[in-house]
Homo-oligomer: A and B are copies of this chain.
């Protein structure tokens, strides 16, 4: 199933690149120039995740945030997202803190997905 390039996919990907931060569905929808259906945005984002263009974080608000894969080793074989995210409770920004983190797990445990979010106040809002 080969992927196709559409105005929606390019717009959303460009938006995420330009933002640099992790964006939720509603942030994306309201930032888009053209009207794109809710379901389409979700489907596009899920495809980007499958393709390793974008990674997903779930915040402590229960919402999904999507960010471009830049320092995640998207180019390398190992594509891991063991980095912390910071969500500002004031301005709502969600940033990828590209600080390497290796968390040792107990014997026999295998890590598949890292979902690391710290919420608080960013330097703009503190």
Return the contact of A118 from the options B89, B113, B119, B121 (Cβ within 8 A). Answer: B113
Other than the given A86-B109, A109-B121, A115-B117, 5 more pairs (CB < 8 A) read A58-B59, A60-B113, A86-B105, A99-B103, A108-B126
Within A74-126, the residues touching B (CB, 8 Å) are: 84, 86, 89, 97, 99, 101, 103-123, 126
How many copies of the chain does the oligomer comprise? 2
The answer to whether B108 touches A97, judged by C-beta atoms less than 8 angstroms apart, is no
The answer to whether B126 touches A120, judged by C-beta atoms less than 8 angstroms apart, is no
Kindly state the interface size class of chain A when it binds its partner.
Answer: 35 or more
A117 to B104, CA, bound (A): 13
The answer to whether B126 touches A105, judged by C-beta atoms less than 8 angstroms apart, is no
